[in-house]
Structure 1
Amino acid sequence: MKPVELPAEAFRLKASASSTLIDELDAALPRAGVSAVVGDGNRQATPCEPEAANLLAAFCWQDGDNAVEYWIPQGITTTADSTAEASYDGVRAIVVSWYYDQDQGGTERGIRLSFVDYPTPGAATTYRHVLLVEPQNDEDGHPSFGPVDLHAGGIAWYGDYIYVADTWEGLRVFDVRHIWRTSTDDDTAIGYKPEDGSYQAFGYKYVLPQVFRYTQSTSGGQAPIRFSCVALDRTSTPDSVIVGEYANVPDGQTARARVFRFPLDENSHTLAASADGYVHATEAYDTATESIQGAAAIDGKFFLSISAGANGNGHVGTFTRGGELALHTGDLPIGPEDWSYWAANDQLWNLAEYAGKRSVFAIRASAY
């Protein structure tokens, strides 16, 4: 099966203005750098060996995070995405996004990121969860923030920004230069608490704010993108963001499961807009492949992680422009998700989502 090339220019994103509340909240809350957050890990990962072909490295979450039903891991990125040197603020880390299932957990908590201190395989692996928030004024006009209610199916860290997939809208952008430390004495509250002037975050010690967003549109009758997964490609010129779509269709029908590339500006670390103000895709393909959970690209080759549901091992799919899609059946654990490529280590990082079966693992990219 050969992915069908689509008119890439028809798929576009447009940036919003930056939040006007960031400076006010910077003045109201103490800031913490990435190194402080990574060094303040309060949870301990465990060693594990997930069932993956060409496995290079792996760890599992501590018991509570492995089993919890209402927080579900989805996206992955690393400091090797953030900078060419593979470190940020003096640390090397892996970051995983989780979304909150309100049906299981009650009051909406939004999404969180786990900052994992992972310098070398075999070293002690600690991590801390950071809540993502959207700045807003409270009902009295006081600078505050609330939870970000997204699926967060994919994330990519570039420079100071972490890009988060917003399924039907586009991308949300969070700035790691503005990690705020909050009060932790009220795990039922979020944002400014007028009773005592504190800022709360459901008991989370740190929050990371959204600073702006990209909203999608299309032309020429093309269907809107479903932003299911996101990965950074530092092997392209210029650097770029890869976006993939998840599709699940009845038997006998064809999935619309497309993969896109959007260019980045290597100086501003934002998406590269054209003269018309839009960021246009530079590549677009319809893979007709069901259950894509991750999409990445390395030196012109696209990598797909494909789920087989809660009971079957996942698959790796690969293709190049104009070529056939090759399927490597069963090479991934049950429930694979997003990709992130750590070039210096030849590692393609991924993670498994299902409670009780969760791992974070890297496979050898060059094996494909």
Structure 2
Amino acid sequence: MGHMLWPFGTTWRPVRQRHRGTVDLRWLSARTWTRRWYPQGVDLGEWQGRRTLAVSWFRQKLDGTHLASRVAFVDLERSRHLDVLLAIDEDGMLQPAPIHAGGLAWFGDRLFVAATGRGIWEFDLSAIRRVRGAEARRVAGLSGRGVRASALVAVRTRVHPIDLRCSYLGRVFDADGTPLRRVLIGEYVTADSGRIAEYTIPETDEGRFEEQERFSPGLPRMQGAVRWGERHFVSQSDRMHPGALWTGRRDALERDRVPLPVGCEDLALDLDAKLLWSLGEHPWHRVVRGIPFRALGIDS
């Protein structure tokens, strides 16, 4: 991933807390309450050999106009983080990636991001670059001169067409914990007709996402899905109330007694730390939460 190192002297630092048995990351900054940036997707990976949590955000005007998207890479041991803006290359000029970034799946140097209604977008983490001045402000969605002197940017390498709305995206693991080259892709709809499908991811630049199976759990407002063996995990938001976690075989999901954060979004499995990660998007309720497997009745 190049020669970038932790930290970057930022005060925008997530703080790790224990709260009723969960591991909570909260932002000691305007990120806690801002209505301009909203967190969405989450996944686990390695950055320079360190266990790292990736959290996607989108930037908007207060009227809802999309401005930019980024991924915050959080060093889980040190709670330091690095922001990487997502960009597209239009005839040699970088522009902000116009996507909600509702889900992430991180495979080595390949970061797959849900692009609602427009498939899955792939970004190359091995080619992250630093841009400066007007280019940095443009990719960050800042108008005018602004204050941003420089920014790290990951550029889109491919668009993968998917026959679903692509609201969220989650990883798949075998029953023994082996990560598979598969993802779950699902649709957020307010009715109970949302679908989730499992795909293999392409191994080559020319490869395509190949659908394996799809199902409709009959749940409105689904926000994230992951699979470990036969056990599926699906998050369901409920406006300003705590979210619900549904677990079990795909044709027999049951609501878990453990609540998810208010405004819950994407899910990620952390088999090393035995945590299920989720996050809450709403201002003042914003948290990235790891729920221990033992609280979910999982013996691992």
Question: Which bracket does the TM-score occupy, shorter chain normalised?
Answer: 0.7 to 0.9
Tell me the CA shift for residue 56 of structure 1.
Answer: 3.8
Q: Write out per-residue CA displacement over residues 154-202 of structure 1, whole angstroms, 9 at most, x where no aligned residue.
A: 01101211000011121000000111011147764449xxxxxxxx995
- How far 1:67 sits from its partner (Å)? 0.8
Which of 266, 287, 291 matches 1:363?
291
Contact 1:301 1:320 in 2 (8 A): yes
Give unpaired runs (5+ residues) of structure 1.
Answer: 1-31, 80-86, 138-142, 192-199, 218-224, 250-254
Distance 2:111 2:158 in 1: 11
User: 140, 143, 165: which is aligned to 1:226?
Assistant: 165
CA distance in 1 between counterparts of 2:136 and 2:167 reads 30
Highest RCO, 1 vs 2 (Cα 8 Å, sep ≥ 6): 1
Contact 1:130 1:204 in 2 (8 A): no
Partner residue, 1:240: 182
SS of structure 2 residue aligned to 1:65 = helix
Q: Displacement of 1:294 after TM fit?
A: 0.9
Alignment match, 1:4:
none
Aligned length: 287
- Whether 1:58 aligns to 2:24 is yes
- Deviation string 1:326-350 (CA, Å, 9 cap, x unpaired) is 0125521211111111112111111
Q: Percent identity?
A: 24
Q: Does 1:101 align with 2:66?
A: no
Question: d(CA) in 1 for partners of 2:71 and 2:180?
Answer: 27
For the pair 1:174 / 2:142, whether they are aligned, the reply is no
Is 1:308–2:238 an aligned residue pair? yes
Structure 1 residues 259, 206: closer, same or farther in 2, change over 3 A? same
SS in 2 for 1:40: coil
Of 218, 222, 228, the residue aligned with 1:298 is 228
Separation of aligned partners in 2, 1:202 and 1:149: 20
SS of aligned partner of 1:177: helix
Q: Report the residue type matching 2:225 in the other structure.
A: A
Deviations 1:32-80 (A, max 9, x none): 72x62543251222244567xxx4422101221111101000000111x
Change (3 A) 1:41 1:304: farther
Choose from 34, 38, 50 the match for 1:68.
34
Indicate the residue corresponding to 1:117 in structure 2.
Answer: 75
How far apart, in 2, do the equivalents of 1:112 and 1:316 lie? Answer: 26
- Name the SS of the counterpart of 2:218 in structure 1: coil
The 8 Å contact of residues 87 and 139 in structure 2, kept in 1 or not, is answered as no
Q: Secondary structure at the match of 1:354?
A: coil
How far apart, CA to CA, are the structure 1 residues paired with 2:166 and 2:120?
8
**SS of alignment partner, residue 8 of structure 2:** coil
Task: State the alpha-carbon separation in 2 of the partners of residues 313 and 339 from structure 1.
Answer: 15
Tell me by how many angstroms 1:313 deviates. Answer: 1.1
* TM-aligned CA distance change 1:104 to 1:71, over 3 Å: farther
| Counterpart code for 2:247 | T
The reply to whether residue 285 of structure 1 matches residue 222 of structure 2 is no
Q: Which amino acid aligns with 2:123?
A: F
Structure 2: segments with no counterpart, 5+ residues:
141-145
Residues 189/169 of structure 1: CA separation in 2 closer, same or farther (3 Å cut): closer
Larger strand share, 1 or 2: 2
After superposition, the Cα gap between the structure-2 partners of 1:67 and 1:337, relative to the gap in structure 1 and judged at 3 Å, is same
185 and 160 in structure 1: CA distance in 2 versus 1, 3 angstrom threshold = same
Contact 1:201–1:207 (CA under 8 A) maintained in structure 2: no
- Determine the C-alpha separation between the residues in 2 that align with 1:308 and 1:74: 15
Alpha-carbon distance in structure 1 between the residues aligned to 2:252 and 2:53: 32
**Equivalent of 2:151, from 201, 205, 222?**
205
Deviation of residue 364 (structure 1)?
A: 2.2
Shift of 1:241: 0.7
Q: Aligned partners of 1:201 and 1:326: how far apart in 2? A: 49
Matches within 5 A, 1:311-330: 312-321=241-250, 323-329=251-257
Secondary structure of 2:67's match?
coil
Give the Cα separation in 2 of the matches to 1:67 and 1:146: 26
